[in-house]
Amino acid sequence: MTRKTMKVSNITCAQCAKSIETYFDTLDDVDAKVLVTSKKVIFNYKEETYDQDQLANHLRIIGYYPILNSEEMEKAKKRDLIDLILAAVLTFPLLWTMFVHLGIPIYVPEILMNGFVQWAIATPILFYVGRRFFQATYHQIKGRNLGMDTLVVLGTSAAYIFSIYQTLTYSSHGMQHMPDLYFETTAVIIFMVMIGNFFENRVKEKTSDALQSLISLGAKEARVRRDGKEIMLSVDEVQPGDIMIVLANEKIALDGIIIKGKSYVDEAMITGEPMPSFKDVGASVIGSTLNMIETIEVKVTAVGSDTVLANIIQMVEDTALIKPKAQRIADKIAALFVPVVVLISIIVFILWAFVIGGGHPLGEAFAPAIAVLVISCPCALGLATPTSISVGSGIAFKEGILYKGGEFFEVANKINAIAFDKTGTLTKGHPELSDFLGEKDTLVYSASLEKHSNHPIAKSITDAFDGDYLEVEDFEVMLGKGVKGIINKRIVYVGSLNMLKDLKLDPKTFDYNLYLSQGKTVFFTVIDSKVVNMLAVEDPIKETAKGVISELKRRNITPYMITGDQQITAEYIASLLGIEHVFAEVLPHEKAQKILEIQQTGKVVAFVGDGINDAPALKMADVGFAVGSGSDIAIDTSDVTLMSYDLGLVIKAIDLSLATLKNIYLNFFWAFAYNIVMIPLAASGLLNPSLAGIGMGFSSIMVVLNALSLNLFKFKNIPMEA
């Protein structure tokens, strides 16, 4: 089976996913899974039966627009914009007439009050601009999964049909004054829903495509030895067993094993760890990581889809498919509300036609039945969620919190476990000099020597030194051990315990084991064969981390740590923060599995991370928080981005989501209160059209005002322990 990912411009909700997946389930030799948040369909299919164009045509048949290239992307954006502008232009004159319904004394041109004119204006809005809703509804009905699109079609069509009936009825009776009509309801519903979809799409486009960003990280070419010559080849042409020559400061193109040379390799973009790894002959290296110091020769062991980076790409896709698709509250309500309203309408028609009507024309039974559908229009329901989320997102942005979609607001209140990555999330993500033991005047020798190294640990030492550097001669890097040089005619070394062993020196004057047990890295300075100082380097904990963990535990939210770092370091950091549940030495592809294991215990899990290796876990979690200082990939695959180092934003994001959710529920109360009062009046034939119009406008206004009341929300002060 061949795997193909295809972008689709108009996937907006879980119902879209169900419609697409249900349709392709009816076809042989193809399987489709939908990534709602990134608006993509992942196909697994037989090449003998399908190609890309055929799959795209099937999507078009069911009303979805595949994006196969940048030109089609621009066409889709242009099409959406044209539809929105056309809806705005045509809705405005109909909206003008609504003031008459509301009893507001304002001048409205007489021609706009003519039912035939309103009919002519509303028709292109419903059937051209709103065509996407009819297409989606058709496939939702076929797939037996009614959603908000069905509610939109129900409300707009009922208002349209009833208004036509009113227009024709009054016209046939020769009456001069047209009755109250609902053509403007048809237009406003479609226009409001399209505005919501348009801005949601623009927000999603502002974040770069996560998978495309991952793909771009890989090297495009590799320097390969063939027939005794070094040639540059596309990575697609490289085969397992080929020998790659990788120079200093070059990307290692593909996964392999070092067969010659040794160097430091920066693997932070894969592992998230800030310390470069020392690699000698026989060590494995990962494609797309950076060779820092010396030229190495690498025997290729994996190409194409077998590489670590390719596996992470596929894992990001697969974990998004495993993660349950959040169904919006409005869609859940629509699934129940639509059949109930239709059933009430049918019952009203039957009662009026055969029980109450007593032989009167069917038109008299038709009127209250359609009135039930009209009065149940989803105008307030459609506004309930997007208005609250829009206001909540604006408040969050001012605090440095960026939400990716509305689903977060409906899940965050259920979170009872939060897992944290260590490096760059709980810690600052860069080493600092934490301890200095020895003769203080020897620090200048350590710093002067390290000034010539580009290793992150060297920077931590020079950052801690405030003074003038000494001149260094014959500087030399001792790979995997340290650095060496001559300062003031004295031989100076700065390096690890392995370096001291080579020099046959014993650092017995320093209790270095104490610092190793705390997860710190220790180095020693040697001057003329004498160990003169010890330097301990650590990745320091963020100032806000301990307070956040304490607050989570107070709220009965269980904190976890998931890290690729060694067990001793992880447990020491966890003990300082008060985290009892620790997963250490976890490989990048295993982080998502750990999240799944926690979920399988019945917990709703959030994950907070910042590295490329965190991307699958961010996708797998019920809610993914990316620290804004992290990689683009982590940010793109998360549900929420924290735009500063402050972990207290996690608490603020959850608190604001709870307030927003309560606001959404109150909006639904207003929307339903209107329906509960008006539907019986419509069913009994006592409905005054003007009253209905006032009620409709009032319910929508209450929804908007209630959403704006969110601006009164105040964040709680979280006690931050140092």
What is the reported pTM?
0.62
Average pLDDT over the chain reads 79
pLDDT for residue 104: 67
pLDDT for residue 378: 55
- Token reading at 167: 């227009």
3 state DSSP class of 688: coil
CATH of 220-319, one of 3.40.50.10800, 2.60.40.1120, 2.40.50.140, 2.70.150.10: 2.70.150.10
Higher per-residue confidence, 216 vs 198: 198
CA 565 to the chain's CA centroid = 26
* Tens digits of residue pLDDT in 626-637: 886 555 555 666
d(CA 553, CA 138): 48
In the chain, where does the domain assigned CATH 3.40.1110.10 lie?
Answer: 432-538
d(CA 256, CA 561): 30
Does 559 have pLDDT greater than 90? yes
Q: Does the active-site annotation cover 632? A: no
Does 309 have pLDDT greater than 70? yes
579: nearest Cα among 427, 413, 414: 427
In the chain, where does the domain assigned CATH 3.30.70.100 lie?
Answer: 2-58
List the single range of 51-65, 358-372, 385-399, 564-578 with lowest mean pLDDT: 358-372
d(CA 469, CA 451): 8
CA 22 to the chain's CA centroid = 25
Burial letters 522-558, b for 16+ CB under 10 A, else e? bbbbbbeeebbbbbbbbbebbebbbbbbbbbeeeebb
Mean pLDDT, residues 158-169 taken together: 80
d(CA 156, CA 161): 9
* Tens digits of residue pLDDT in 42-93: 888 888 888 888 888 888 888 787 887 667 667 777 888 888 899 889 988 8
Does 147 have pLDDT greater than 90? no
| Strands of the sheet with 482-487, listed across from one edge | 432-438, 530-538, 521-527, 490-495, 482-487, 473-478
pLDDT for residue 479: 79
What is the total residue count of the chain? Answer: 722
Sequence-distant (6+) residues with CB within 8 A of 203 are: 404
3 state DSSP class of 176: coil
d(CA 677, CA 681): 7
d(CA 149, CA 62): 14
pLDDT for residue 380: 63
Higher per-residue confidence, 310 vs 688: 310
Rg (CA), the chain: 33
290: nearest Cα among 307, 314, 270: 270
Sequence-distant (6+) residues with CB within 8 A of 612 are: 214, 217, 269, 270, 272, 312, 588, 631, 633, 634
pLDDT for residue 436: 92
Question: Can you give the three-state secondary structure of 503-543, one letter per residue?
Answer: CCCCCCCCCHHHHHHCCCEEEEEEECCEEEEEEEEECCECC
656: nearest Cα among 715, 611, 572, 593: 715
d(CA 180, CA 393): 38
For 432-538, CATH gives 3.40.1110.10
3 state DSSP class of 325: coil
- Token reading at 149: 């699109």
d(CA 101, CA 493): 87
d(CA 635, CA 325): 19
Mean pLDDT, residues 533-560 taken together: 90
d(CA 341, CA 181): 21
Expressed in angstroms, the distance from the first to the final Cα of the chain is 54
pLDDT for residue 492: 92
Indicate the residue type of 148.
M
Question: What is the DSSP code (8-state) at residue 475?
Answer: E
d(CA 631, CA 669): 41
Q: Does domain 2-58 have CATH number 3.40.50.880?
A: no
- Alpha-carbon distances of 142 from 15, 34, 59, 219, rounded to whole Å: 12, 18, 15, 46
CA 633 to the chain's CA centroid = 10
In the chain, where does the domain assigned CATH 2.70.150.10 lie?
Answer: 220-319
Phi, psi of 643 (to 5 degrees): -90, 25
In the chain, where does the domain assigned CATH 3.40.50.1000 lie?
Answer: 401-426+542-653
Mean pLDDT, residues 457-467 taken together: 87
User: What confidence tier does 409 reach under pLDDT thresholds 50, 70, 90?
Assistant: confident
pLDDT for residue 466: 86
DSSP E strand stretches across 235-392: 243-246, 250-251, 256-260, 263-266, 277-279, 284-285, 290-291, 296-300
Catalytic residue among 83, 149, 421, 610: 421
d(CA 339, CA 144): 11
Which DSSP helix (H) or strand (E) runs through 235?
Answer: none
d(CA 447, CA 494): 9
d(CA 597, CA 610): 21
Q: Which residue has the tokens 């348009």?
A: 198
Sign of CA dihedral 667, 669, 674, 679: positive
Higher per-residue confidence, 373 vs 606: 606
3 state DSSP class of 328: coil
d(CA 619, CA 635): 11
Which CATH fold topology does 401-426+542-653 show? Rossmann fold (3.40.50)
